[in-house]
């Protein structure tokens, strides 16, 4: 089930076609056409998504090569049957620790690095819980790129709660007492899934 509006899917596909086409094109005339397709995609985002047009054009211009989904990693870390959340400085809302996977990091290395950077806890990734398509979950606001979200169950090895340049607070929460969430990064349903899959014994990884 797709939860995003159709305009967003069209604009994202146009941007991906323009990016990939620009990578392989040999004709200057075709390059101009792909550039125009990218501009149209940016105009759609700006108008329908209420996003500053120059900002979205800059984001698109920074992309190159064959367009593929981006990878976001998130950690489900439990202590006393409560889950670790971090408060983002950018919006003052809460999320599972995580972020974009970096080049040359394996998925588990990426999520372990994100946790210690954002929370101060050194963890070990123990199990893949899910690979979700962001487009099939109720995230808000719309995002210009296609994203796969990987969720890992992680175990604390050492460390203590330590805010960072990205996070203002770190705490553990029961499922019934979650704080306001950063819905662009995480949803209530995804945290509920982490409790279910992370605390109730090994289960096959979920997907989509």
Predicted confidence (pLDDT) per residue in 162-205, tens digit: 999 999 999 999 999 999 999 999 999 999 999 999 998 788 99
Q: Rounded to the nearest 5 degrees, what angle is found at the Cα of 98, between the Cα atoms of 18 and 117?
A: 120
Which CATH number is correct for 70-207, 3.90.79.10, 3.40.50.720, 3.90.550.10, 3.30.565.10? 3.90.79.10
Rounded distance, CA 152 to CA 125, Å? Answer: 6
CA–CA separation, 145 vs 86, rounded Å? 24
Number of Cβ atoms within 10 Å of the Cβ of 132: 23
Which uninterrupted H or E stretch holds 17? helix 6-24
Would you say how long the chain is, in residues? 208
Query: pLDDT-based confidence at 87, cuts 50/70/90?
Result: very high
Of 70, 82, 77, 73, nearest to 159 (Cα)?
Answer: 77
Contact 198, 78 (CB under 8 A): yes
Q: How far apart are CA 86 and CA 77, in angstroms?
A: 11
* Band of residue 49 on the pLDDT scale cut at 50, 70, 90: confident
Are 118 and 166 spatial neighbours (Cβ–Cβ below 8 Å)?
Answer: yes
Phi-psi region at 68: left, alpha or beta (left = phi > 0; alpha = psi -120 to 50):
beta
Q: What is the pLDDT of residue 28?
A: 92
Averaged pLDDT for residues 80-85:
97
Q: Which pLDDT band holds residue 1 (cuts at 50, 70, 90)?
A: low
pLDDT at 67 > cutoff 70: yes
């Amino acid at each position: 089930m797709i939860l995003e509006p159709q305009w967003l899917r069209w604009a994202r596909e146009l941007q991906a076609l323009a990016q990939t086409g620009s990578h392989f094109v040999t004709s200057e005339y075709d390059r101009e056409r792909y550039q125009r397709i990218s501009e149209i995609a940016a105009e759609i985002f700006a108008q329908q998504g209420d996003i500053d047009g120059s900002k979205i054009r800059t984001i698109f211009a920074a992309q190159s090569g064959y367009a593929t989904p981006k990878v976001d990693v998130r950690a489900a870390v439990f202590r006393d049957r409560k889950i670790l959340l971090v408060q983002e400085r950018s919006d003052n809302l809460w999320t599972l620790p995580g972020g974009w996977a970096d080049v040359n990091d394996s998925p588990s290395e990426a999520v372990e690095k994100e946790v210690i950077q954002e929370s101060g806890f050194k963890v070990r990734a123990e199990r893949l819980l899910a690979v979700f398509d962001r487009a099939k979950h109720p995230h808000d606001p719309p995002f210009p790129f296609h994203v796969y979200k990987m969720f890992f169950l992680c175990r604390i090895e050492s460390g203590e709660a330590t805010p960072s340049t990205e996070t203002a607070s770190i705490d553990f929460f029961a499922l019934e007492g979650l704080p306001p969430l950063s819905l662009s990064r995480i949803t209530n349903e995804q945290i509920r899934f982490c409790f279910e899959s992370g605390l109730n014994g090994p289960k096959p990884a979920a997907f989509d």
